[in-house]
Amino acid sequence: MPTIAIISEYDGTDFVGYQIQDNGRSVQQTLNEAVSAVYKTKLNVTGCSRTDAGVHARGHVSSVEVPFYIPEERIPLALNCFLPDDCCVKKAIYVNDGFNARFESLGKRYIYRLQTGSCRSPLLNRYAHYVKGEPDIMLMKEAASIMVGEHDFAAFCAAGGSQKTTVRKMFAVNVRKDSSLIEIEVQGEAFLYNMVRIMSGTILYAGMGKLSADDIRELFANPDRKNAGKTLPPEGLTLEEVYYDWSKWRKAD
């Protein structure tokens, strides 16, 4: 059976998250229903990660084995006929046997967005967390730079994770500001439960003067969740991109 990788985009506001759950509509179930409708048999997709309720994605990747061939460029058109307005498939790629969207990922890129200023923008409410006032961007940049590299991120993990180790490697952590919008971009090999939202909350606390650079270094030397910043709300977080070695996995024509 052919295997396809599905690159999807969704507004997570009205989903309970990516993974199928009993308490509401999930992205995974929504994709399952679309794929099953197109291929006229029950199919189940495997996702690269379990985004939480309210978290968005611009480049989420799922994989699924399908019973017959459809030209690659026509797959998104077919699937989107069965998808709701808050979810779409942007691209589909035929991949070699053995590809699994979760286990073959080489890393992910997230952006957490903050809106700042004296009043919030209703147009940004679904996609950026509002912070009253103006955090110090230079202090936020300094805090972000400390997080780059391989560290024990135990202080940046919410309870409930199933990880064997809390050591993770961050390729880059950047902060940029454009008008009233601040973006915290995090690129890493793998992530703990709520890790990016806690990292973002910690960087924000640095910008607000609640944590110093030395405080953040201490979080890695002596990890303690209660000493890090708060877990920021889900609406500000977007999974932007997932990294794979497509030269290895993309199926030759």
Alpha carbons 244 and 129: distance in angstroms, whole number: 30
Alpha carbons 237 and 33: distance in angstroms, whole number: 26
- What DSSP assignment string belongs to 185-200? EEEES---TTHHHHHH
Q: Name the E strands within the chain.
A: 3-10, 46-47, 56-65, 87-95, 107-117, 129-132, 149-152, 167-178, 181-188, 237-243
Whether 52 sits among the annotated catalytic residues: the reply is yes
Helix, strand, or coil here: 219? helix
Letter for the amino acid at 237?
L
Write down the catalytic residue from 14, 22, 52, 214: 52
Contacts of 173-177 with CB under 8 Å at 24 or more apart are 173/144, 173/145, 173/147, 173/148, 173/199, 173/203, 174/141, 174/144, 175/137, 175/140, 175/141, 175/144, 175/203, 177/137
Catalytic residues: 52
